[in-house]
């Protein structure tokens, strides 16, 4: 059942669950129905532009066109760097929540929803919107599917990502309606082009707004976006959707779509594959869809029913579920009892492994499963495993990364805003001003301390007696990292042969054993 978590459990957690009935264990993992208080990342909700940047943007208009364009590009670069820093902060904040046992099950469902309703920062260059969507998933995760789908249809980030914000009578945009049916609710073959066209008309008027006081101009950089229903953009003519005719709006489209026979099949199939690692056969699929319907699409009790289904633990499929990069990283750090890498480093590692949070590759999200593993990403997993187990020896192992970018994303250095001098001013340069070269050097020094990884704390993982008995030590480590996965005799023999003849075994000896286990194919699926 620990496969339901985004992070692998510790021996104590496994023992606790093993002593419970399956239904009680599921309830324990799921946690409370109601979401506790969630404090947002500290900098995410701050204004998108600083006062200095707002002032500079006004001054750009007074410059000659060529100079104004060049300075404008510098300002955009500085603003984008700040956006990237805030996105990195959201990623780190989210990973930290995943690593907390009491929150892990809900956060894994949020991870599923992020891939299911994929929205990317590549197009939505607004950290506030992406955080709000992430929080929407969290708040509605355990409730009724209908309420969540409707919430996504009104979500500002989704409205921008799939161009719904442009949708108005006379100029319908079909992007969201198409993905609503194809990817979010029904699947290919369960709708027609007419259903898409008519539904796009029904969604006309659902857009994004930035609240303002009467008489004030709209300020998108410094005001949190909200859903806005523009009545004057509505298409009030009759529409025919899935054989039903009426003056439908967006809420009607969601209701009608989720009433289709394909709707419970589509979502339960995706949930089963996400958690179990394989697609259910026809009879099991029918059973899952019936249970979803019986529960009226309420997610928490459905997950409980799915996790306690005997087929969920079919030994024939024990190796079908490959850990996603996010699950791999969070679980590895929890099992090793070491902290997560700094957010900028963790974000970069996950991107290299194929899962950059808040930036899925396309509207389909991540394919998952065996696609997580290829020649490049497997080699990276093994390399990053050695970093986390043995440490990075200062910055030596990080030398191949873009440390300048990591320093900026970590808030250790700002991208300077453009200097715009008054042509009539002849003021000399301030001799106390620190040069950009000096700032880079200072940031590099800080990055050395922030990004470097210390070796895993072996003393927290093994007892002193284990150090004198390699056979017992290997069993202890195998139980911890592979959950009792049967280790082939040949692999066990090689592990024993790799241990030092000097007893008791040192921390370095034990880390070598741990590394062999963690770099095994079995660890990628257990």
Q: What is the pLDDT, as a whole number, of residue 427?
A: 47
Q: What phi-psi label fits residue 243: left (phi over 0), alpha (psi between -120 and 50 degrees) or beta? A: left
Report helix, strand or coil for 413.
Answer: coil
Cα–Cα nearest to 444, from 404, 399, 414: 404
Report helix, strand or coil for 385.
Answer: helix
Distances (CA, A) of 232 to 99, 187, 197, 256: 47, 32, 20, 24
Report CA torsion sign: 307, 318, 366, 383.
positive
Percent of the chain with pLDDT over 70: 93
Confidence check: pLDDT of 389 > 50: yes
Mean pLDDT of 420-428: 51
Question: Phi/psi of residue 437, each to 5°?
Answer: -65, -40
Of the listed ranges 62-66, 155-159, 441-445, 501-505, the one predicted with least confidence: 441-445
Tokens of 404: 């300048």
Confidence check: pLDDT of 169 > 90: yes
Mean pLDDT of 307-312: 95
Q: What is the pLDDT, as a whole number, of residue 233?
A: 97
Distance CA 185, CA 149 (A): 8
> To which residue do tokens 């679980």 refer?
331
Q: What is the pLDDT, as a whole number, of residue 7?
A: 53
- The Cβ of residue 320 has, within 10 Å, a number of other Cβ atoms equal to 15
pTM above 0.85, yes or no: yes
Mean pLDDT of 226-234: 96
The 3-state DSSP composition of the chain as helix, strand, coil percent (nearest 5) reads: 55, 5, 40
Q: Which residue has the higher pLDDT, 49 or 271?
A: 271
Residue 114, CB-side half-sphere exposure with 13 Å CA sphere: 26
Confidence check: pLDDT of 361 > 90: yes
Grade residue 76 by pLDDT with cuts at 50, 70 and 90: confident
Grade residue 484 by pLDDT with cuts at 50, 70 and 90: low
Grade residue 15 by pLDDT with cuts at 50, 70 and 90: confident
Confidence check: pLDDT of 423 > 70: no
Confidence check: pLDDT of 1 > 60: no
Per-domain boundaries in the chain: 38-99+321-420+434-456, 103-213+221-317, 458-524
Q: What is the pLDDT, as a whole number, of residue 419?
A: 66
pLDDT tens, 427-474?
444 444 557 777 777 877 788 888 999 999 999 898 888 898 888 888
Question: Phi/psi of residue 294, each to 5°?
Answer: -60, -35
Distance CA 230, CA 470 (A): 70
Q: What is the pLDDT, as a whole number, of residue 252?
A: 98
Going by C-beta distance under 8 Å and a sequence separation of 6 or more, which residues neighbour residue 25?
1, 17
Of the listed ranges 6-10, 145-149, 232-236, 491-495, the one predicted with least confidence: 6-10
Mean pLDDT of 161-173: 97
Distance CA 22, CA 285 (A): 21
Length of the chain: 526
Confidence check: pLDDT of 63 > 50: yes
Q: What is the pLDDT, as a whole number, of residue 425?
A: 46
Report CA torsion sign: 467, 470, 475, 481.
positive
pLDDT tens, 231-280?
999 999 999 999 999 999 999 999 999 999 999 999 999 999 999 999 99
Question: Phi/psi of residue 298, each to 5°?
Answer: -85, 120
**Mean per-residue pLDDT over the chain, rounded:** 89
Q: Which residue has the higher pLDDT, 268 or 412?
A: 268
CA angle 332, 338, 341 (to 5 degrees): 80
* Most trustworthy range by pLDDT among 10-19, 227-236, 388-397: 227-236
Mean pLDDT of 182-210: 97
Exposure string of 155-177, with b = 16+ CB inside 10 Å and e = fewer, is bbbbbbbbebbbbbeeebbbbbb
Q: What is the pLDDT, as a whole number, of residue 95?
A: 98
| DSSP calls for 131-150 | HHHHHHHHHHTTSBHHHHHH
Distance CA 137, CA 117 (A): 10
Going by C-beta distance under 8 Å and a sequence separation of 6 or more, which residues neighbour residue 331?
5, 6, 7, 8, 323
Confidence check: pLDDT of 105 > 60: yes
Of the listed ranges 63-77, 114-128, 180-194, the one predicted with least confidence: 63-77
Confidence check: pLDDT of 155 > 50: yes
């Amino acid at each position: 059942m620990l496969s339901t978590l985004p992070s692998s459990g510790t021996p104590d957690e496994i023992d606790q669950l093993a002593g419970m009935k399956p239904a009680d264990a599921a309830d324990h993992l799921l946690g409370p129905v109601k979401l506790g208080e969630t404090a947002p990342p500290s900098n995410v909700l701050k204004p998108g532009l600083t006062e200095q940047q707002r002032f500079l943007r006004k001054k750009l208009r007074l410059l000659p066109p060529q100079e104004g364009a060049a300075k404008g590009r510098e300002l955009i670069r500085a603003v984008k760097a700040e956006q990237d820093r805030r996105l990195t902060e959201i990623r780190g904040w989210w990973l930290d929540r995943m690593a907390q046992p009491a929150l892990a099950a809900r956060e894994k469902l949020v991870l599923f929803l992020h891939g299911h309703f994929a929205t990317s920062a590549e197009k939505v260059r607004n950290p506030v919107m992406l955080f709000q969507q992430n929080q929407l998933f969290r708040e509605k995760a355990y409730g009724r599917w209908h309420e969540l789908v409707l919430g996504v249809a009104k979500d500002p980030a989704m409205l921008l990502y799939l161009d719904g914000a442009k949708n108005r009578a006379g100029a319908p945009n079909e992007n969201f309606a198409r993905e609503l049916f194809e990817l979010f609710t029904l699947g290919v073959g369960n709708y027609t082009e007419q259903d898409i066209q008519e539904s796009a008309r029904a969604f006309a008027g659902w857009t994004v707004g930035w609240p303002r006081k009467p008489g004030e101009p709209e300020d998108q950089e410094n005001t949190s976006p909200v859903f806005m229903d523009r009545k004057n953009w509505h298409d009030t003519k009759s529409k025919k959707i899935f054989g039903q005719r009426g003056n439908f709006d967006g809420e009607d489209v969601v209701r009608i779509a989720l009433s289709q026979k394909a709707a419970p099949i589509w979502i339960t199939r995706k949930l089963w594959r996400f958690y179990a690692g394989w697609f259910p056969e026809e009879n099991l699929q029918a059973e899952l869809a019936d249970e979803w319907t019986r529960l009226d699409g309420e997610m928490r009790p459905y997950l409980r029913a799915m996790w306690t289904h005997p087929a969920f633990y079919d030994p024939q499929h024990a190796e079908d579920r490959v850990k996603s990069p996010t699950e791999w990283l969070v679980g590895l750090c929890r099992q090793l009892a070491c902290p997560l890498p700094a957010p900028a480093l963790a974000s970069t590692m996950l991107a290299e492994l194929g899962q950059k949070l808040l930036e899925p590759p396309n509207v389909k999200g991540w394919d998952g499963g065996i696609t997580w593993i290829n020649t490049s990403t497997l080699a990276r997993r093994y390399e990053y495993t050695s970093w986390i187990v043995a440490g990075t020896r200062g910055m030596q192992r990080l030398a191949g990364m873009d440390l300048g970018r990591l320093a900026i994303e970590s808030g250790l250095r700002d991208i300077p805003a453009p200097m715009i001098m008054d042509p009539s001013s002849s003021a000399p340069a301030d001799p106390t001003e620190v040069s950009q070269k000096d700032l880079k050097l200072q940031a590099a020094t800080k990055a050395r301390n922030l990004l470097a990884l210390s070796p895993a704390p072996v003393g927290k993982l093994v007892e002193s007696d284990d150090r004198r008995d390699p056979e017992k030590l290997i069993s202890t480590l195998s139980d911890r990292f592979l959950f009792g996965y049967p280790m082939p005799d040949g692999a066990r023999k090689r592990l024993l042969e790799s241990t030092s003849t000097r007893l008791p075994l040192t921390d370095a000896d034990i880390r070598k054993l741990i590394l062999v286990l963690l770099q095994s194919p079995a660890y990628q699926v257990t």
